[in-house]
Amino acid sequence: MTHTFRTAAVIGAGTIGLSWTALFAAHGLTVRVSDPRPDLADAVDEALTAFGPHLAAQGLDVDGLADRVHITADVTEAVREADVVQESGPERVEFKRQLFAQLVREAPRHALLLSSSSMIPATAFTADLDDTGRVLIGHPFNPPHLMPLVEVVPGAHTTEEAVQAALDFYTFVGRTPVVERREIPGFVGNRLQNALSREAMHLVQQGVVTPEDLDTVVTHSLGIRWATTGPFLSSHLGGGPGGYRHLMEHIGSALGDMQLGEPSQHPDDLERVIQTVEKAYASTPYADLAEARDRGQLAVMTALENTRPQKGN
């Protein structure tokens, strides 16, 4: 690692920003959090308390976690001594354009300026700004204090030095960064997720399967398989000793002929899907569902970590 990270500013204390805050503090960073919400201090305290066990389960020292987090409603004060700024504000181009103009102006010149944007490429909100070589996307999957992936997406003017600094930073805080070399709305993870979600909605609308049974199909097949290998390696292994080439030669045309569905966007059709999902899951409190999800994700990640070959073996 060629960069040193001591202080991070988190701009925006919603679900993602609070998760980043806990993760950064657990890795020993001094974290300054800024958000205009009136309950900011309470929200941060609640998040650190809730996320502490998750971080401890990852082997991180959570003693004194709150002592490393400082609250400020003022963006300028939050970024004044930052080595890294992680923006997690509203998904609106104009908001981000105005905010990053302020960040470029107020943050130290060495500071890395990152956006958690899940849909908007960096060039869309930095094209008219100066000194944008240090601005890029660092898109996590929710919640970032648990989910390892961070999509690192440079903008049109992002420097290679900034890309490397982002890789160093996210590796430092225990994440798995992947560089995507071409900007595209939604990046890679959300586009894949959207493709599956669209077909899932189509299948439910067509009465092929219920939401609960579709979730069972995924969690008992693709979810397990892709957690260990991913789509391309899964297909390569599915081809047997002949690998991906053999698979494509034998069933590639059939896969290409399969017409995927286009879910209806009519309000009545969407409402019917919403009601079936609510019937399946809304009777259980959100906090309970989220906690079960997080415990399951931790268990999966722990199991995967234990199956990976040790270095030197």
Query: Would you place residue 312 in the very low, low, confident or very high pLDDT band (cuts 50, 70, 90)?
Result: low
Would you kindly state where each structural domain of the chain is located, as residue ranges?
Answer: 7-179, 189-282
**DSSP H or E stretch at residue 154:** strand 149-154
Active site residues: 151
Query: Residue 149 CB: number of other CB atoms within 10 A?
Result: 15
Mean pLDDT of 21-28: 98
The percentage of the chain sitting over the pLDDT mark of 90, rounded to a whole number, equals 85
Kindly tell me if the per-residue pLDDT of 51 is higher than 80: yes
Query: pLDDT above 70 covers what percent of the chain?
Result: 98
Prediction pTM value: 0.91
Angstrom distance (rounded) from CA 27 to CA 113: 19
Determine contact, residues 3/33, Cβ cutoff 8 Å: no
CA angle 190, 232, 156 (to 5 degrees): 45
- 7-179: CATH number: 3.40.50.720
In the block, tokens 């890679």 appear at 188
* pLDDT single digits (tens) 219-263: 999 999 999 999 999 999 999 999 999 989 988 888 888 888 999
pLDDT at 17 over 70: yes
